[in-house]
Chain A
Amino acid sequence: MTDTVSQPTPESTSGGPDGDFETLAALARVQVDTPSSHVMHFGEDEPIEMDCGASLSPWQIAYQTYGTLAPDRKNAILICHALTGDQHACNVHPVTEKPGWWRLFVGPGKAIDTDRYFVICANVLGGCMGTTGPASVNPATGKPYGVDFPLVTIRDMVRSQAMLLDKLGIDDLLCVVGGSMGGMQVLEWAALYPERVFSAMPIAAATRHSAQNIAFHEVGRQAVMADPGWASGRYLERGTRPRKGLAVARMAAHVTYLSEGALHQKFGRKLQSRAAPTFSFDADFQIESYLRYQGSTFVERFDANSYLYVTRAMDYFDLAAEYDGKLARAFRGTPTRFCVMSFTSDWLFPTKDSRAIVRALNAAAASVSFVEIESDKGHDAFLLDEPDMFSAAKGFIDAAARDRGVA
């Protein structure tokens, strides 16, 4: 969920050039309705039926593809992105101009080899990079939806992706893969459309959001809503923005993506461009400076209301609850083969959450593999250079392709 792998140097916080940020924000605003990627439009007569009871139409879903779809259509892999990710998994981002968030994992010759496989990645429902969300214009009013947008669930996101695949003429997927919230979507895919999923790889995920994780999300949402710029969710019409609030939300969340060890190794108690503390509330420590930078860049590319909606979708996720409280029922008789992965230093989605997935899959007699990757990078490890993750994933996906007869 960190923006990039090569994180910016901490000193870039002080007095960030507001002009550049405003340009970024304008670029991001354009992406909401006219993204720099493929878009599939669904008309008035093609609504998406959502868990909250709303029937949303017209709507659109923005997506990227990499590689070539085989004539027999057996080589399609769907990537599901995390909370603040988007469809630009391995191309230069149209707003930030940074490389794609999963370029180490997906691409020519990578673990998910785009020379062999056809990879699809779509922006989630409720997002702000071209799939309909709270920043999109509500055709009924001609104004942005804002908080009038219906509450989105992980299952709604998965339904929207399935509707996209229907239109693309892709009946089933060689693999569905994603980390964190992407992993939640992977699990939901396998539960909702087992016959469309040959293999599934949920990474650093869980079948439900824990109380601790909901708590962190709530802190973030409250920070956004406490910012006067939020204007009860109508900031786009008012021309204000909850920049401070969203930045604080991002700062708090960012800490949860790292590990104590990683923070210590990277920053320790090092001071930021100064020899001694200033006896003030300036960003004396490098870690403060780094977090402030993370917060300030994030607010320029991400819509605050989208942040509220997508965090809420994660909070609501409880796969067992969708199946009478019995997780194993979600997977009963599943033909899908699973490879579950976790990281040793991830305390946001710890290994025990992944083991609970494995236990449920075993109880459902599903074909399940599980790998715990040694890493000190915390939850963010799934985005980073983790050769053990790459080799495990490559082995699993290539074997699935072989067994499915992918050329």
Chain B
Amino acid sequence: MNALPPDDFDTRKASLAAAGARPDHLMLAEMVEPGARVLDVGCGDGSLMALLRDLRDCDARGVELDRENVNKCLAKGLAVVQGDADTDLFDYPDDGFDYVILSQTIQATLRPRAVLEQMLRIGKCGIVSFHNFGYWRVRFELLLRGRMPITEQLPFSWYDTPNIHHCTMRDFVALCHEVGAVMERAVALDAGDRPVRLPLPWWVWNMIGRQGVFLLRRGEGQGGEG
């Protein structure tokens, strides 16, 4: 892994941000070591993979369910396998990647726990981001309107949503403990997708974080070869 000179990184980052790179993607990309092998599960149109390639010189691969999105990835010159996180991760070898990323994917899987375990088997590290169901606006909707929340980020009705397993940041932390994942970093992103920098207790993060981003590492004696 050959690190870029810092000024080069900053220049690239600025130009990619100016070209419309999503702030949460930039945040994820900064968590990844330069030159790493990355598997992006639920990679969508490949914009995060392209960012990892252009900003971090990563060898990025994707898994995506939707064929339209697969075609968009192909046209960007990205390697993407049309497939399903719930069934196809079993096909990947142990320790095949430095990082496995689930960027707003885990809530759409049938078995989030199994997917998380597969992620930690395939990747030396895992990065998970999701919309925090503990966010104050979500709570507000449920509390005052008594209806399942429909927001800009979660625009679906309860009966017609790909997002079948919502959780709060605290729920996710509990799952990490359950599968023995070590949390290297946890970041809450505010409504502008900027990291909340203040040192606050968990229950506050769980209120003000619209999105949670977690950098995980496999625990001792768990999965993989080492």
By a beta-carbon cutoff of 8 Å, the part of chain A in contact with chain B is: 337, 339, 355, 358-359, 362-363, 365, 367-374, 388, 391-392, 394-396, 398-400, 402-403
Docked pose: A80 CA to B92 CA in angstroms: 30
With A355-B91, A367-B61, A371-B82 known as contacts, the answer to whether A399 contacts B77 (CB < 8 A) is: yes
Contact of A398 among B73, B75, B78 (CB under 8 A): B75
Docked pose: A403 CA to B54 CA in angstroms: 13
How many whole Å from B40's CB to the nearest CB in chain A?
Answer: 13
With A359-B91, A363-B93 known as contacts, the answer to whether A391 contacts B71 (CB < 8 A) is: yes
Docked pose: A164 CA to B83 CA in angstroms: 38
Docked pose: A388 CA to B83 CA in angstroms: 16
With A362-B92, A392-B74 known as contacts, the answer to whether A369 contacts B81 (CB < 8 A) is: yes
Whether the Cβ atoms of B79 and A388 lie closer than 8 Å is no
- Residues of chain B with a CB closer than 8 A to A371's CB: 67, 70-71, 74, 82
Q: Which residue of B lies closest to A360 (CB)?
A: B91
How many whole Å from B131's CB to the nearest CB in chain A?
Answer: 28
Whether the Cβ atoms of B76 and A369 lie closer than 8 Å is no
With A363-B93, A395-B75, A399-B74 known as contacts, the answer to whether A369 contacts B80 (CB < 8 A) is: yes
Query: 12 interchain pairs (CB within 8 A)?
Result: A358-B81, A362-B91, A362-B93, A363-B93, A363-B96, A365-B96, A369-B74, A374-B67, A391-B71, A395-B72, A396-B75, A399-B78
Which secondary structure dominates where chain B touches chain A?
A: mixed
- Residues of chain A with a CB closer than 8 A to B67's CB: 371-374, 388, 392
Q: Which residue of A lies closest to B63 (CB)?
A: A370
Q: Which residue of B lies closest to A370 (CB)?
A: B81
- Residues of chain B with a CB closer than 8 A to A359's CB: 91
Whether the Cβ atoms of A395 and B74 lie closer than 8 Å is yes
Docked pose: A372 CA to B67 CA in angstroms: 8
How many whole Å from B44's CB to the nearest CB in chain A?
Answer: 15
- Residues of chain A with a CB closer than 8 A to B71's CB: 371, 388, 391-392, 395
Q: Which of B4-25 contact A (CB under 8 A)?
A: none
Docked pose: A365 CA to B71 CA in angstroms: 21
Whether the Cβ atoms of B79 and A337 lie closer than 8 Å is yes
How many whole Å from A365's CB to the nearest CB in chain B?
Answer: 7
Docked pose: A399 CA to B71 CA in angstroms: 11
Docked pose: A363 CA to B225 CA in angstroms: 15
- Residues of chain A with a CB closer than 8 A to B79's CB: 337, 367-369
